[in-house]
Structure 1
Amino acid sequence: MNRRHFIAGLSVATLGAIGLSRCATDGRPQVTGVAAEAPKPAPQLLPPPPKTARIALPDGVLSILPGDGDLLALTVDDGVSSEVVRAYTQFAKDTGVRLTYFVNGIYRSWTDHADLLRPLVDDGQIQLANHTWSHPDLTKLPLADVAEQFRHNHDFLWKTYGVDVRPYYRPPYGAHNEHVDKVAGELGYTATTLWSGDLKDHAWIPADEVLRLAERFFTPQTIVVGHLNHEPVTQVYGQLVDLIRGRRLRTVTLDDVFLRP
């Protein structure tokens, strides 16, 4: 290469560098040796209250968390969809959200994902409770069949997860009466658990409707019911956890709040 060609090439390279520098001010893509700053991790969710703060279970039907506070009990029912059970459990694992699952053991989802779920149950992040074996209206069954619904589900949860889920039970459809409660109580299920907020996703609804209802009901001391049945809720997990963080709520299981009898 002669000197003239060398100087010409050097000039082109210099102009190229100047052009790249101008790209930065023009807002166009640029080549740079400086790595982009890594995004900051999302803040951790607030922890549950200390065990010493647990209180006695109140008498009667449980539908709210008593007192003033910043607690939110997310309770999720059924388990019709194996994929939604997997996604909800992974959501809890990824974010630290604490959940209470009211299980119908008849659905294969509870055996399909036992290995994923069991460590969170053992750790106390997810609590299991009794929602009967096959989700009948208990008020329309003979009392012997009511008892069998509780026993069958209780035995399944004990054999599959090694946990005694008493005293919490949720009657399917919220349907119960004094006779159902008496049978349940004789089997150790003394805490009839309903809800004060409802995501209404027992049937399919759009994801934006799930989010709208969460914005309404994710409030202090609320027991919210959702369902492990349909996929739209899995599309808004990020917004749900942002809502919890933004309102500075502590997600809790029922065992985080109440002493067992």
Structure 2
Amino acid sequence: MSKGDVNRRRLLVLAAAVVAGGTVTAADWLYDGQGRPQARPPSPAPPAAPPVLAAATPAASPPPRLLPPPDPRHRVRLPGGGVLSQLPANDNTMALTVDDGVNSEVVRLYIRFARDTGVRMTFFLNGVNKSWTDNRDELRPLVDSGQIQLGNHTWSHPDLTTVSSSTIRAELVRNDLFMKDTYGVDAAPYFRPPYGKYNSAVEAVAADLGYTVATLWSGSLADSTVISEDYIVKMANRYFTPRTIVLGHLNHLPVTHVYGALVEIIRARNIRTVTLNDVFLPQR
């Protein structure tokens, strides 16, 4: 082999070593038995550094809580007449009241809405609906704390003006016993006659049982049937105002999709949501 061939061979070996391992020094060379240099095989590449894991995304912050209940020392006597449809004109309070409980999922989501935001409500329930036993364990702590109040809406939601006095009594008594047994509360004096219909016979039977206050409403979400989410928000914009007793229903899912919008209306208007017990002194 000529001297030129040897030099070319060294250059090729050197180039291969550079490609494989980067900078080449004298320590990178081996010699054969005749003293001719050979490139040292490149050292194995160091193990790759473990990947840097992105920090876990923090859980979404819970929504800001609404205003707390008013000072109980400011409670007032119930108005005379046995019918309640509006709160006293003393501050920025609003009563959100919801009825029935046909859909167990809607009841569950309303409970979580209350727990997450601090909104205070009165549930006028029909004990015939299994939602009230399905959700007992989640609802009971909020009832015990007073954040959610229970009212009597009869056992099975008949029009009380079309049935006998004995049926009126049976409907109210059965629901009353269900609330006492399941939630440990006496819902008197507040009852809501189904469809808002009542007459002197209904009033007389109810009063004899301690249900002296027929609780109606002065605003509504209009969601007794399935309506659009936009319409529910429209009704909330109209009726989420001070002194209003608002009627809603625990029956259809669209309202559960607009909780954020409802909270924003309440917060923007600085409204304090209340139960009826937050506002009125207990009857003696």
Provide the C-alpha distance between the structure 1 equivalents of 2:92 and 2:271, rounded to a whole number of angstroms.
5
AA aligned to 1:202 is S
Shift of 1:103: 0.5
* Alignment gaps of 5+ in structure 2: 1-21, 25-53
Which of 50, 53, 58 is the aligned partner of 2:79?
A: 58
The answer as to 2:71 corresponding to 1:76 is: no
Contact 2:85 2:216 in 1 (8 A): yes
Quote the Cα distance in structure 1 between the aligned partners of 2:207 and 2:138.
31
Q: Which residue of 2 aligns with 1:138?
A: 160
Partner of residue 213 from structure 1, selected from 231, 235, 245 = 235
Change (3 A) 1:229 1:38: closer
| Residue 193 of structure 1, aligned match among 215, 218, 223 | 215
2:254 corresponds in structure 1 to 232
Matches within 5 A, 1:36-115: 42-60=63-81, 61-115=83-137
2: CA distance, partners of 1:220 / 1:140 = 34
> Which structure would you say has the larger RCO, counting Cα contacts within 8 Å and 6 or more residues apart?
1
Mapped pair 1:243 → 2:265? yes
- Sequence identity, in percent? 57
Deviation at 1:37, TM superposition (A): 11
Deviations 1:107-152 (A, max 9, x none): 0000000000000000000000000000000000010110111000
Native 8 Å contact 2:124 2:152 kept in 1 = yes
Task: Determine if contact 2:63/2:116 at 8 Å carries over to the other structure.
Answer: no
Q: CA deviation at 1:78?
A: 0.2
Query: Once the 2 structures are TM-superposed, how far is the Cα of residue 45 of structure 1 from its aligned partner?
Result: 1.2
For 2:190 and 2:58, the matched residues in 1 are separated by 48
The code of the aligned residue for 1:237 comes to Y
Supply the AA of the counterpart residue of 1:225: L
Deviates more, 1:44-53 or 1:190-199: 44-53
Alpha-carbon offset, residue 46 of structure 1: 1.1
The alignment partner of 2:95 has SS state of: strand
CA distance in 1, matches of 2:197, 2:58: 55
For this pair of structures, how many residues does the alignment match? 232
- What is the DSSP-based 3-state SS (H/G/I as helix, E as strand, rest coil) of the residue aligned with 1:45? coil
Alignment counterpart, residue 124 of structure 1, candidates 146, 167, 174:
146
Indicate the structure with greater helix content.
Answer: 1
Determine if the alignment matches structure 1 residue 177 to structure 2 residue 199: yes
TM-score (ref. length: structure 2): 0.78
Structure 1's unaligned 5+ residue stretches are: 4-32
Alignment root-mean-square deviation, CA: 1.9
- Structure 1 CA distance, aligned partners of 2:225 and 2:174? 25
Deviation at 1:94, TM superposition (A): 0.8
Moved more, 188-197 or 61-70: 61-70
Which structure would you say has the larger Rg?
2
Question: Which residue matches 1:255?
Answer: 277
Distance 2:65 2:207 in 1: 39
